[in-house]
Structure 1
């Protein structure tokens, strides 16, 4: 069976949750004998290459995906146009297109065995994200939702939001590589609190910093990530006098090693489509402290403590998680085991073959 994945950002050149999902599922499918292609932006160059068994096909030149912390509409349109011109998707038995940023989904819409994978459903959030331009985004999202195909949601939260507009989606979640995590040794140095993610307003790192200010000065925090808000967040941390360290994104093994040596993972955002890193933290034995919000799918997936979105409650939850880490450790690891990538791959194949 020939399977085509469609998503502009490609792992490991771009390290996000969507990219990780396609890579982890794709390489497992390839190992099982399926012929797997990934149509994306050519971060590696302008020729087709093979990576971990997946044939990577460049459809457009490398460009900045974000402007001022937000996805660029122009990039999504140009990638979709190039995809239509360069990819003969009718040659494939299955096309699995990641819905965001929408325009590629429209290009794929006529394929007879199309799977649209939803990582989030934004609805009215479009207006908050883009202002008046959000009306355009909301309309495009609704058009994609009406495409007749197999719809997959990565979380029950997204599936519920889709059902509210009449779209039935099967939940096939993201996962973690349990066996690989087991083999990685803990780092020599750990931290009381760890955050990893894009440093943009939506991730809520401001809330984390304000919560840390309410904790004892001895509490250490590592913030791993890059983004439009990094300089501002570093300045806030210095101004507040926090015992806080900032690092750019690091390779996956190093991140796991640090989490194994640390106490608590912080996820202060109110909007998460899934959060693979939270499950990986669980697999390392770390409880996750996150926000109680209907758009935060991680609050119903990760094991840890859920609290209200204010600095005092978040600070109290961090302290509680640190105190209870030994008691929560086994629960966290068992929770992560339910999301092993091998299980997830078998489930998506079942969807493909229906």
Structure 2
């Protein structure tokens, strides 16, 4: 089986890039031939607002040239809606698109209601024109099924063997945020909540993102002695700091299935997250401390209470569920079975 994977990135700490890089590695281990089109090997404009549109265009040209060269594949598998044109341009027998969140919801949060409404209509039309759509969370699958798109649930996963054996603790009481600094991730809510957190609890932020949010984080680091913006860290270093923390916090407005939550659970670190369907539907039982979204007061209370009374009853159950349902051995097999099914 010959497979072409198309993704905006395959390196870095982002959830999509980690998902795709792990999938490439696992498929190759199974003896499948895999090629990749990504920003790492395709020209694009690395500027906010132009990154995704420029990659969508240049990657579509690249896959179209493969068609001209008659370099064919059994499967083309794209990740997230902006690569749809690249998927449609590729010389493949079957087209698969994986959704790592609800695209129109992200557009609505970033650009307002009108843009979100247009995106809703557009995504429905586009997704009905590929052979298979997979989603990383039950909530995302449910949303797209309601607008007439047949979906398959295949979640994000972890390679448990690559987790650190020891953590890094920077402060006596330490809560970590690890990920993109964006409004979808609710990072602005965390910035408001920090002022209400017990001063003995240190909030450590790892990641990069919107310049305005980075700047707010830098200013707050100078203002509050218990807030620390450390910027981007390599993935393994990030994991070690998560492992050494008392909790992970992720106050998202919209999500797919955050890999960082699975990583924290596998490392037996309590998770404090927004009570949004994308997160609650993924586990089927309370395995995280869930907080009303867009509420910095409740978020600060959850941080304070979690460190005062760690939810030990959740920690072992969360680790067991990750081992059973979210490891890459299981997930790779699901993808291979899907490929075989739609090729018949």
Question: Do they fold alike, i.e. is TM over 0.5?
Answer: yes
For residue 291 of structure 2, the aligned residue among 300, 304, 307 is: 307
Instruction: Give, in angstroms, the shift of residue 36 of structure 1.
Output: 1.1
> Counting helix residues as a fraction of each chain, which structure ranks higher?
2
Take 2:16 and 2:235, find their aligned partners in 1: how far apart are those partners? 15
In structure 2, relative to structure 1, the CA distance for the partners of 1:286 and 1:120 (3 Å cut) is same
| Conserved? CA contact 1:224–1:246, under 8 Å | yes
| Conserved? CA contact 1:287–1:325, under 8 Å | yes
Structure 2 unaligned segments of length 5 or more: list them: none
| Conserved? CA contact 1:114–1:149, under 8 Å | yes
| Conserved? CA contact 1:192–1:220, under 8 Å | yes
1:217 to 2:204 alignment = no
SS in 1 for 2:31: coil
For residue 133 of structure 2, the aligned residue among 151, 154, 166 is: 151
Take 1:124 and 1:267, find their aligned partners in 2: how far apart are those partners? 18
State TM-score, norm by structure 1.
0.84
| Conserved? CA contact 1:117–1:153, under 8 Å | yes
Instruction: Give, in angstroms, the shift of residue 34 of structure 1.
Output: 0.9
Structure 1 unaligned segments of length 5 or more: list them: 44-57
Question: What is the aligned partner in structure 1 of residue 21 from structure 2?
Answer: 23
For residue 233 of structure 1, the aligned residue among 202, 213, 217 is: 217
1:8 to 2:11 alignment = no
Matches within 5 A, 1:1-354: 1-9=1-9, 11-12=10-11, 14-41=12-39, 43=40, 58=41, 60-64=42-46, 66-67=48-49, 72-86=52-66, 91-105=72-86, 107-108=88-89, 111-123=92-104, 126-131=107-112, 132-134=114-116, 136-181=118-163, 184-189=165-170, 191-228=173-210, 229-239=213-223, 241-294=224-277, 297-301=278-282, 303-309=287-293, 310-322=295-307, 323-337=309-323, 338-354=325-341
In structure 2, relative to structure 1, the CA distance for the partners of 1:7 and 1:65 (3 Å cut) is farther
State TM-score, norm by structure 2.
0.87
1:113-136 CA deviation, whole Å, 9 max, x = no partner? 221111122346534433455555
SS in 1 for 2:93: coil
SS in 2 for 1:4: strand
In structure 2, relative to structure 1, the CA distance for the partners of 1:137 and 1:78 (3 Å cut) is farther
Take 2:22 and 2:337, find their aligned partners in 1: how far apart are those partners? 17
Take 1:325 and 1:125, find their aligned partners in 2: how far apart are those partners? 31
SS in 2 for 1:226: coil
| Conserved? CA contact 2:5–2:77, under 8 Å | yes
Instruction: Give, in angstroms, the shift of residue 3 of structure 1.
Output: 1.3
Instruction: Give, in angstroms, the shift of residue 287 of structure 1.
Output: 1.4
| Conserved? CA contact 1:263–1:325, under 8 Å | no
SS in 1 for 2:205: strand
SS in 1 for 2:157: coil
Aligned length: 330
1:170-224 CA deviation, whole Å, 9 max, x = no partner? 100010111221x532225355210011112222122223222222211111100
SS in 2 for 1:324: coil
Aligned-residue RMSD, C-alpha? 2.4
1:318-342 CA deviation, whole Å, 9 max, x = no partner? 2232222433321231132121111
In structure 2, relative to structure 1, the CA distance for the partners of 1:80 and 1:345 (3 Å cut) is same
